[in-house]
Amino acid sequence: MLKETISRVEKSKEYEEWHAKNPDFYLAHAFTMLDEKHPRYAWELGYYSPSRDKLVVVETEPSIAMRPEEDVFKKDGRVAKLSLSEIKIRVADAMKICDDLVKSDYSSQVVNKRIILVQNQPKHVYNVTLVTHTFSILNVKIDAGTGEVLGHKLQSIMDLGAWQKGDRPKS
């Protein structure tokens, strides 16, 4: 499904016209979220320009639409290219790996939302964030070539915020 979506975008008139004017942009990531309101994959594809150090996001649903260039969130250097030939595990298989991990290691958690990012860092990975009913997040990194779970970590969403005991929201 992901590879077909990328192919559909890159064969579209909108993409071809844009890429002809911006030939140094390359595919850097694919992103989607799944939950009860959004039960199907609506991919957003990120294309990166090393010369401009900018990212253009292409929405794929309900139709192909390109957002304006934006700054890139990265630590250092350039954003690595996402090579489809390195992605051998289907998205559905990666989600099954996540489901099996939840059953075996986090059985008290019920997943409400899935945030899926496919990127090259420096391996091609599915970087999956599962949001649970207990307001926890389980981050799972899966090798997109082999299906190996590279790591996983569960933490409370409350631990992520900057609020400390005694802090009050700004009014």
The total number of structural domains in the chain stands at 2
Boundaries of domain holding 74: 1-30+37-82
Query: C-alpha 127: how far from its chain's center?
Result: 6
Q: What is the mean predicted confidence (pLDDT) over 106-125?
A: 95
Residues 103, 57, single domain; the answer is no
Per-residue pLDDT for 164 more than 70?
no
Q: What is the mean predicted confidence (pLDDT) over 116-138?
A: 95
Sign (positive or negative) of CA dihedral 145, 151, 157, 159: negative
Residues 14, 74, single domain; the answer is yes
Residues 16, 68, single domain; the answer is yes
pLDDT at 160: 67
Residues 93, 62, single domain; the answer is no
CATH number, domain with residue 138: 3.10.450.40
Q: pLDDT: is 91 or 162 the higher one? A: 91
SS3 64: coil
Instruction: Among 19, 53, 82, give the residue marking a domain's end.
Output: 82
Sign (positive or negative) of CA dihedral 152, 154, 158, 164: negative
Per-residue pLDDT for 169 more than 60?
no
pLDDT at 167: 53
Residues 37-61: pLDDT tens digits?
877 889 999 999 999 999 999 999 9
Residues 43, 98, single domain; the answer is no
Q: How confident is the model at residue 170 (pLDDT cuts 50, 70, 90)?
A: very low
Per-residue pLDDT for 12 more than 80?
yes
Q: Decide: 73 and 112 in contact? Cβ < 8 Å.
A: no
pTM over 0.85: yes
Is 63 part of a structural domain of the chain?
yes
Is 135 part of a structural domain of the chain?
yes
Is 171 part of a structural domain of the chain?
no
Residues 93, 133, single domain; the answer is yes
